[in-house]
Amino acid sequence: MSVELFKLDGKVALVTGAGSGLGREMAIGLSAAGCDVVCADRERSWVTETVSIIQSRGHKASRIIFDVTKEDEIAHLGRAIKSSHGKLDVLVNNAGVAPYPKRLHEVDASDWRRVVEVNLNGPFLVMRAVIPLMMETGGGSIINVASLIGLGGFYPGFPVSGVAYAATKAGLAGMTKQVAAEYAKDKIRANAIAPGWQGAGTRLADHFKADWSAEDRERFEQAILSGTPMGRRGDAKELQGLVIYLASDASSYVTGQIIAHDGGWTAI
């Protein structure tokens, strides 16, 4: 097998939630492998920083600003990318939110709806907008970012996630499999990555971790480390290899799969 299979020269990728965390690292990895990356986020300053990082390394990147929950902002996404880049080969649906961790009976309905809007409706709207362009220009690879919390529950005696996050990430896994089945003949592959507990570099849970006491943080950390065979958190940069693989011809016969990237969490 040749390493040429992993090269992405000439391909165009769209990464949502590219302004920080996993999205930024995946955008950087795709660009280093040869992709012209369209970095999407609703936070202009964050995504501008991501584009600057990529361009400073001599790779291709541009930005596009939209909110994945706003149907009117996404409706013309396919046409916009066709106009600017001519095609779309790779979509990474990464934008997501994590609610303040509570048990089900404590969850506000408004929080539930917000998580569903971003984590489930968002990928649906983005895929609906760009799949016609992929069909028109020869196919492509869709990579949805799910979570290990969508693969199995976790409650170490105190809330660390929640039903809304678990339900939407499990739903995204199901959506991925259905898209894979529906569009295989159109040469569109769809797979999902289910990341495990990530270390520094992601803003996903910043809004509630700031409220935790030192004791809460220590309990949380010990619960994660004790449940991970590798005994450590993941580094966002470690996702680059997997996303490059799923975007490239190296995974040309892989579709409909949910791949855990979790240090062995789901192995036990």
Contacts 24+ apart (CB under 8 A), 64-68: 64/14, 64/38, 64/39, 64/40, 65/40, 65/41, 66/40, 66/42, 67/42, 68/16, 68/42, 68/95, 68/118, 68/121, 68/122, 68/123, 68/125, 68/126
* Domain housing 224: 3-260
- pLDDT given for residue 14 in this prediction: 98
| H/E stretch holding 189 | strand 188-195
Domain assignment present for residue 175? The answer is yes
Specify the number of domains making up the chain: 1
Domain assignment present for residue 172? The answer is yes
In whole angstroms, how far apart are CA 51 and each of 9, 28, 34, 181, 248?
18, 9, 15, 34, 22
DSSP three-state, residue 60: coil
Q: Is 253 a catalytic residue?
A: no
Q: Find the radius of gyration of the CA atoms of the chain.
A: 18
Domain assignment present for residue 233? The answer is yes
- pLDDT given for residue 206 in this prediction: 60
Domain assignment present for residue 267? The answer is no
233 within 8 A of 195, measured Cβ to Cβ: no
CATH code of the domain containing 187: 3.40.50.720
Amino acid at 79: R
CA distance 94 to 53: 19
Strands (E), 9-120: 12-16, 36-41, 61-65, 90-93
pTM: 0.95
34 within 8 A of 8, measured Cβ to Cβ: yes
Domain assignment present for residue 266? The answer is no
Q: How many residues in the chain?
A: 268
Q: Tokens standing for 124? A: 């649906």
Amino acid at 125: L
Q: Tokens standing for 189? A: 């592959």
Domain assignment present for residue 35? The answer is yes
CA distance 38 to 61: 6
CA distance 26 to 198: 14
Per residue of the chain (268 residues), what is the pLDDT tens digit?
578 999 999 999 999 999 999 999 999 999 999 999 999 999 999 999 999 999 999 999 999 999 999 999 999 999 999 999 999 999 999 999 998 999 999 999 999 999 999 999 999 999 999 999 999 999 999 999 999 999 999 999 999 899 999 999 999 999 999 999 999 999 999 999 999 999 755 666 565 666 778 888 899 999 999 999 999 999 999 999 999 999 999 999 999 999 999 999 999 9
Domain assignment present for residue 265? The answer is no
- pLDDT given for residue 3 in this prediction: 85
CA angle 73, 75, 81 (to 5 degrees): 90
Given the residues 100, 155, 165, 183, select the one marked as catalytic.
Answer: 165
Domain assignment present for residue 268? The answer is no
Amino acid at 22: L
